[in-house]
Amino acid sequence: MPAITPAMVKDLRERTGAGINDCKVALQENDGDAEKAIEYIKKKGLAKVAKKAGAIAAEGVVHAYIHPGSRIGVLVEVNCQTDFVARSPDFTGFVDVVGMQIASMGAQYVRREEVPQADIEKQSEIFKAQMAEEAATTGKTKPADVIAKIAQGKVDKWLDEVCLDGQPLITDQEKTIAQTAGELSAKIGEKISVRRFVRFELGEGIEKKTTDLAAEVAETLKGN
């Protein structure tokens, strides 16, 4: 096994955010291979997060994000376990990204457990109806079990789209919000979670008056 140098430990620490001793052990356990050591730390970090799953995260911030142009605004509550972490750059940076994520991607829920079962069933029926329409058009039918499996896959994809936790991060498409929160929890050593949010869009829900310009012109000319 190659000698583990301080430079190797420093590089691994900068790449993972793990402690010095954890980095040293990871390199020792993986014969100095940095990439394998990173995987080792990730697995160890996830184990730490799992232990903290039952922890109470009641501190944190309520963050306001206004999208450029002032047409979309977001209020989001992100929790941690201590005031100290709530003021840390890593935590506030994550909160900023979450605000932008909600504004840009229009999530409706934080996590899957919040989605009403009736909405899930309704979406499944929509996908099945779409497949039935396609079959009627093409003349190609599929067995019922295949249709059910495809519909479930579409529902899973839809849930990832409407739930914040399942969305790919706007700053890193390889990670979801939930994965990013988990990695931050492992790095900081506290449970990090998005509790709730509200998204406002200018004019949303207001029934706007529509006008038929051609009809108005015709009516004016008729009056003359």
Residues 188 and 186: their CA atoms lie apart, in Å, by 6
Q: What integer pLDDT is reported at residue 219 of this predicted model?
A: 66
**Cα(87)–Cα(153) distance, integer angstroms:** 40
> Quick check: helix, strand or coil at residue 195?
strand
Out of 1.10.150.450, 1.10.3470.10, 1.10.8.10, 2.70.98.60, the CATH code matching 6-51 is: 1.10.8.10
Which residue has tokens 């004019």?
203
Q: Which CATH architecture has domain 59-112+163-201?
A: 2-Layer Sandwich (3.30)
The full set of domain ranges for the chain reads: 6-51, 59-112+163-201, 116-159
Per residue in 193-224, pLDDT tens?
999 999 999 988 787 666 666 666 666 666 65
pLDDT in tens, 151-205: 999 999 999 999 999 999 999 988 999 999 988 988 888 889 999 999 999 988 7
Span 38-47, average pLDDT: 72
Distance between CA atoms of residues 94 and 60, nearest Å: 12
Note the pLDDT of residue 116.
95
